[in-house]
Amino acid sequence: MTDRTISVDYLARVEGEGALRVRIHERAVDSVELAIFEPPRYFEAFLRGRSYFEAPDITARICGICPVAYQMSACHAMERGLGLSIAPEVRALRRLLYCGEWIESHALHVYLLHLPDFFGVPDAIHLAKDHREVVERGLALKRAGNELMTVLGGREIHPINVRVGGFYRVPARDELEALRPSLANALYLAEETVRLTASLSFPDLENDYEFVSLRHPDEYPMNEGEVVSSRGLRIPMARYDEEFREIQVPYSHALHSVRRDGGSYLVGPMARYANNRDRLGPRADAIVREVGLEPVVRNPFRSVIVRAVEMVYACEEALRIIDGYRPPDRPYVEADGALATDGCVAITEAPRGMLYHRYRLDATGTIRDARIVAPTSQNQKRIEEDVRAVVERSIDLESEPLTVACEQAIRNHDPCISCATHFLSLDLVRD
């Protein structure tokens, strides 16, 4: 047999609908195609004509897994364009909400989507048959993240409390205090997660990634910072379009992002950690030292440990924010100056990596142009290269185990296909 094709028609344990096709000729990989067949939903088209004020709630519906990320990028973009400045207390609450989403989303991926691969079982339900305490720990962590989002956001999926300029209602101190026991427990469970994941055995593979993330002067990045890369790039968010561009490929409903020179890059936990190892909090730092995690993780299968470290960080950061919380004088500020602007741009760190929003508003505050680049769009090309690397080193495997290895190579980066798909640019000729 000189030609064979590895096909996965419907990728499991990822968010959304995608397929994989790898063509092998002799003992070489001919092509790798991560085909995203999830239908486009045209957000960028129907955002035109909506008020700037509606963008956080509408764009949240791009992804039920990371709605806070969309709300945050949309709010920051509008606020930057409109010149609104946010009170430090409101800024802290936004970071707290983001901690909830990081905990929930990472716990979902680590325990329900990724860990079954390492145990050779099809899903977390089967994992629970022999390791019930492991799955229960994951569910408890996930619940802690969801509780935080429910208290602060009103509900965990598509929270209702976020608005341009701040929040509709800010919590009283005791509402946040009540979260402390569950978060303290989650911190311990997250540390246990680092110990568990660090003890797994990993395929021997290192890739040469260009890691791209935000970097902030004093914090592990979430809502603010400059765009940096492990190869020396350092630019303000507003210059993103100069360094990164999108291309359309025939086999996928999602655009691929590439660097200016056409090369791939990686966003997400591995990139954030590589670029911000020195910004972790004391508990995350201590657990990294305890398990001896390398300062830059280049083995994609080990991303599961990095996600666990970020959960530790998100738990300790949430507790720190609750400790220092005092309610702001006003829950939100409103735009009162000119609304026409093309300066609405922001990047925030979704659980899966940088999420870019850019808008142009007219004098009535109506959106005239919208552009959104999701983390998975940015990682698609790199994920294909990862699959190629895995196939090349395992070319002699039978098709079934090779298929499993390919699927895991994709799941390593927690792709959110629902996010990636909805950005096929439509350009209305009018306007």
Partner 1 sequence: MPSTRPKLAVFKFASCDGCQLTLLDCEDELLALAGRIEIADFREASRRVVEGPFDLTLVEGSVTTPEDIPRLHEIRANSRVLVTIGACATAGGIQGLRNFADVAEYQRVVYAHPEYIRSLATSTPIQDHVPVDFELRGCPISRAQLLEVISAYLGGRSPNVPRESVCVECKRRGTVCVVVAHGTPCLGPVTQTGCGAICPSFHRGCYGCFGPQDTSNAPALSQKLVQLGMDSPSLARFYRTFNANAPAFRAASDAARPSPSPEGA
Kindly list the residues in this chain that would bind partner 1 in the complex (CB under 8 A). Answer: 10-17, 38-43, 45-51, 54, 57-58, 61-65, 67, 108, 112, 122-126, 128, 132, 135-136, 139-140, 142-143, 146, 154-158, 160-161, 163, 168-169, 248, 250-251, 253, 407, 416, 418, 424-430
Q: In terms of Cα–Cα distance, which of 378, 343, 372 is closest to 357?
A: 372
The least CB distance from residue 419 to partner 1, in Å, is 9
Q: Provide the residue type at 186 as one letter.
A: A
- Report residue 305 as tokens: 């440990």
Find the shortest distance in angstroms from Cβ 188 to partner 1: 17
Instruction: Report which of 306, 237, 313 is spatially closest to residue 279, judged by C-alpha positions.
Output: 313
Q: How far is the CB of 253 from partner 1 (least distance, A)?
A: 7
- Tokens for 249, please give them: 């490929």
For the bound state, the minimum distance from the C-beta of residue 84 to partner 1, rounded and expressed in Å, comes to 19
Nearer to partner 1, 187 or 287 (CB): 187
Give the closest residue to 29 by CA, choosing from 414, 421, 405, 413. 405
Nearest CA to 383 out of 340, 330, 420 is that of 420
Report d(CA 144, CA 155) in Å as an integer: 13
**CB of residue 428 vs partner 1: minimum separation in angstroms?**
6
For residue 121, the number of C-alpha atoms closer than 13 Å in the C-beta half-sphere is: 16
CB of 207 to partner 1, least distance (A): 24
- Closest to partner 1 by CB, 23 or 61: 61
Of the pair 140, 296, the CB lying nearest partner 1 is at 140
Min CB(381)–partner 1 separation in Å: 16
Q: What sign does the CA torsion over 271, 272, 273, 279 have?
A: positive
Helices (H), 292-374: 303-323
Rounded to a whole number of angstroms, the minimum distance from the CB of residue 414 to partner 1 is: 12
Please write down the long-range contacts of 2-11, taking CB distance under 8 Å and 24 or more positions apart.
2/26, 4/399, 6/391, 6/399, 6/402, 6/403, 6/406, 7/403, 8/403, 8/406, 8/407, 11/407, 11/410, 11/417
Task: Check if the beta carbon of residue 103 is closer than 8 Å to that of residue 309.
Answer: no
- Select 215 or 357, whichever has its Cβ closest to partner 1: 357
The residue assigned the tokens 């390593």 is 412
- 67 vs 268 by CB, closer to partner 1: 67
Cβ-based nearer residue to partner 1, 238 or 340 = 340
Residues 189 and 308: beta-carbon distance below 8 Å: no
Q: How many CA atoms lie within 13 A of 269 on its CB side?
A: 28
**Minimum distance of partner 1 from residue 330's CB (angstroms):** 12
32 or 47, CB closer to partner 1? 47
Which residue, 49 or 88, is less far from partner 1 as judged by CB? 49
Task: Compare residues 298 and 368 and give the one whose CB is closer to partner 1.
Answer: 368
Do the Cβ atoms of 221 and 237 come closer than 8 Å? no
